[in-house]
C-alpha cells in the first residue's frame, strides 16, 4: 500500500471562516482523519498579541474533532496547525490543507512525487524557548517526519515548516517563579529567538550544519542557516509542530514539490528557480496555461539586519512600523506578480537562520 498526498487551498473571509473546509468534508472530497497539517495565513498583525492565529487554530481543530469524532488531544497529537499572522499588502487570507490517505494506486512511472508527514514534540518550558533544547527537539522531529514520510534521501526534502511557541508575560513570570530565566524578556524579540532555534533544528535535522552548535550562536551567527525551511511562532501552543515535505518514489500523489533559496526580499529570479524546479517554465510571469498547475507557494523572508538591500539604504530598521509587516508585503508582492495569485503563504520578519541573512526560501507545490 502507498500514500496519496493531496493538497487543497481555499480562501478565508475571516480567521474562523470554516465554510470551504466544511464543504470539502461534507462533500466527501477529504476525510477529517486523513488531515495531517493545515497552514493558514490569517489577517492579524503577526505580533505577540495576534489573536487571529489561536482563533483560526481552534476553529480548524473543532471541525476536525467533530468530523473525525476525536478528542482535542488526539487531534493535536496528529495534526500540525500552522497559523501565520499578517496578510499585509496584497496577500490574500487563505488556508492550505494537507491530506495523506492510503492508496492502492501504484506509482508506475517511478518518478518521485509529493509526500509529507508531521512530528509533534513535548511542551517546552518557557526557559527552553530559543535555546539548544528547542534546536535538538526540532532536529529529532525532522528526522522522525522524514522517516514517516518515506523520503529516501535528505536531498528529496524541499520544505520544512515548524510551528513554535513564544514568550508572554505570564510565561516569563512562571519561569521566574521557579528561579529560571528565559532567553529574553522582550516578548516580541522571543519570536525571533523561537523561529531562529527552530530553523537551526531544521538545519541540523537535514545535516546542513553540524550538530555541535553553541547556545551563543542562536540568532547571532549568520553563517548558520537552513535553505529548506522556516518557522512561524505564536502564542497558541507550547510544543513544537514539525511538518516535512518532500518527494518520494513510494508516493502515489499527482503533485510534486521543489524549492530554491532567496538571496533577498526581491529575489524574483530565486522564485522563478523554485517554479522551474517543479517542471514549469517561466521567464517573466508564469504563463496563464501553467498558473493552475501551481497549488501554492510557501516562502520565508528575513529583514536585512544591516538595513541595506542590494547596497541601497532602506527604512526597514528605522521606520516606526514593525519591519516584519512591510517585509511580508514586499515578498508577497514579488511572488504574486510571478505566479499571478495573491493567495500565497509568506512569512517574514526579524530573525536568523531561515536562509541567508536578509534572504529566505521559496518552495512550490504543483501538479506534476
Domain stops at, among 38, 70, 105: 105
Judgement on whether residues 290 and 175 belong to the same structural domain of the protein: no
Task: Determine the Cα–Cα distance for residues 185 and 189; give it in Å rounded to an integer.
Answer: 8
Tell me how many domains the chain contains: 3
Q: Are 235 and 48 contacting, i.e. CB atoms less than 8 angstroms apart?
A: yes
**pLDDT per residue as tens digits for the range 82-113:** 999 999 999 999 999 999 998 877 666 779 99
Task: Determine the Cα–Cα distance for residues 102 and 86; give it in Å rounded to an integer.
Answer: 35
Q: 82 is in which domain, residue-wise? A: 1-105
Q: Is 320 a catalytic residue?
A: no
Q: What is the CATH number of the domain that holds 61?
A: 3.30.1330.170
Name the residue among 16, 45, 279, 27 with its Cα closest to residue 8.
Answer: 27
- Point out the catalytic residue in the list 232, 248, 251, 332: 232
What is the predicted pLDDT for the residue at 108?
66
| Residue 58 CA from chain centroid, whole number | 18
Domain stops at, among 195, 228, 253: 253
Judgement on whether residues 62 and 165 belong to the same structural domain of the protein: no
Q: Are 10 and 52 contacting, i.e. CB atoms less than 8 angstroms apart?
A: no
Judgement on whether residues 333 and 288 belong to the same structural domain of the protein: yes
Q: Are 286 and 280 contacting, i.e. CB atoms less than 8 angstroms apart?
A: yes
Residue 199 lies in a domain: yes
Q: Is 232 a catalytic residue?
A: yes
What is the predicted pLDDT for the residue at 1?
63
What is the predicted pLDDT for the residue at 103?
83
Residue 262 lies in a domain: yes
Q: What is the DSSP string of 290-354?
A: HHTTEEEEEEEEE--TTSEETTEE-STTTSSS-THHHHHHHHHHHHHHHHT-S--EEEEES-SSB
Residue 352 lies in a domain: no
Which residues of the chain have a pLDDT value below 50?
Answer: none
Judgement on whether residues 117 and 241 belong to the same structural domain of the protein: yes
DSSP 241: E
Task: Determine the Cα–Cα distance for residues 356 and 261; give it in Å rounded to an integer.
Answer: 8
* Structural element, H or E, at residue 116: strand 113-120
Adjacent-strand bridge partners of 118: 243
- Point out the catalytic residue in the list 9, 70, 163, 300: 163
**Would you state the cell numbers that stand for residue 53, as one nine-digit string?**
492565529
Question: Is the pTM here over 0.85, yes or no?
Answer: yes
Judgement on whether residues 152 and 199 belong to the same structural domain of the protein: yes
Judgement on whether residues 246 and 144 belong to the same structural domain of the protein: yes
Map grid coordinates 500523489 to a residue.
253
Residue 320 lies in a domain: yes
Judgement on whether residues 171 and 274 belong to the same structural domain of the protein: no
**pLDDT per residue as tens digits for the range 3-34:** 899 999 999 999 999 999 999 999 999 999 99
Amino acid at each position: 500500500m502507498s500514500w496519496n498526498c493531496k493538497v487543497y487551498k481555499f480562501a478565508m473571509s475571516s480567521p474562523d471562516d470554516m465554510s470551504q473546509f466544511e464543504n470539502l468534508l461534507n462533500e466527501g472530497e477529504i476525510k477529517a482523519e486523513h488531515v495531517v497539517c493545515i497552514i493558514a495565513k490569517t489577517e492579524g498583525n503577526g505580533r505577540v498579541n495576534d489573536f487571529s492565529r489561536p482563533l483560526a487554530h481552534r476553529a480548524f481543530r473543532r471541525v476536525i474533532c467533530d468530523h473525525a469524532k476525536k478528542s482535542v488531544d488526539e487531534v493535536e497529537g496528529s495534526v500540525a496547525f500552522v497559523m501565520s499572522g499578517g496578510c499585509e499588502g496584497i496577500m490574500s487570507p487563505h488556508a492550505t490543507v494537507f491530506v495523506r490517505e492510503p492508496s492502492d494506486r501504484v506509482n508506475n512511472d517511478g518518478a518521485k512525487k509529493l509526500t509529507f508527514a508531521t512530528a509533534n514534540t513535548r511542551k517546552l518550558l518557557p526557559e527552553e524557548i530559543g535555546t539548544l533544547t528547542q534546536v535538538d527537539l526540532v532536529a529529532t522531529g525532522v528526522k522522525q517526519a522524514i522517516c514517516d514520510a518515506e523520503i529516501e534521501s535528505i536531498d528529496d526534502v524541499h520544505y520544512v515548516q515548524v510551528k513554535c511557541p513564544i514568550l508572554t508575560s505570564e510565561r516569563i513570570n512562571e519561569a521566574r517563579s521557579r528561579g529560571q530565566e528565559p532567553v529574553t524578556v522582550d516578548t516580541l524579540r522571543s519570536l525571533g529567538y523561537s523561529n531562529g532555534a527552530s530553523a537551526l533544528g531544521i538545519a541540523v535535522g537535514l545535516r546542513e550544519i553540524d550538530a555541535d552548535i553553541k547556545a551563543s550562536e542562536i540568532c547571532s551567527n549568520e553563517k548558520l542557516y537552513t535553505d529548506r525551511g522556516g518557522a512561524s511562532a505564536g502564542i497558541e501552543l507550547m510544543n513544537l509542530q514539525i511538518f516535512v515535505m518532500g518527494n518520494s518514489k513510494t508516493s502515489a500523489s499527482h503533485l510534486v514539490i521543489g524549492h530554491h533559496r532567496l538571496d533577498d526580499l526581491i529575489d524574483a529570479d530565486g522564485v522563478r528557480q523554485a517554479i522551474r524546479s517543479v517542471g514549469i517554465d517561466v521567464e517573466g510571469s508564469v504563463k496563464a496555461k501553467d498558473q493552475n498547475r501551481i497549488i501554492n507557494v510557501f516562502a520565508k523572508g528575513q529583514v536585512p539586519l544591516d538595513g541595506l538591500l542590494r547596497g541601497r539604504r532602506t527604512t526597514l530598521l528605522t521606520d516606526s512600523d514593525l519591519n516584519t509587516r512591510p517585509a511580508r508585503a514586499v515578498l508577497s508582492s514579488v511572488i504574486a506578480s510571478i505566479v499571478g495569485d495573491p493567495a500565497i503563504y509568506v512569512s517574514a520578519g526579524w530573525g536568523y537562520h531561515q536562509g541567508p541573512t536578509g534572504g529566505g526560501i521559496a518552495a512550490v507545490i504543483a501538479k506534476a
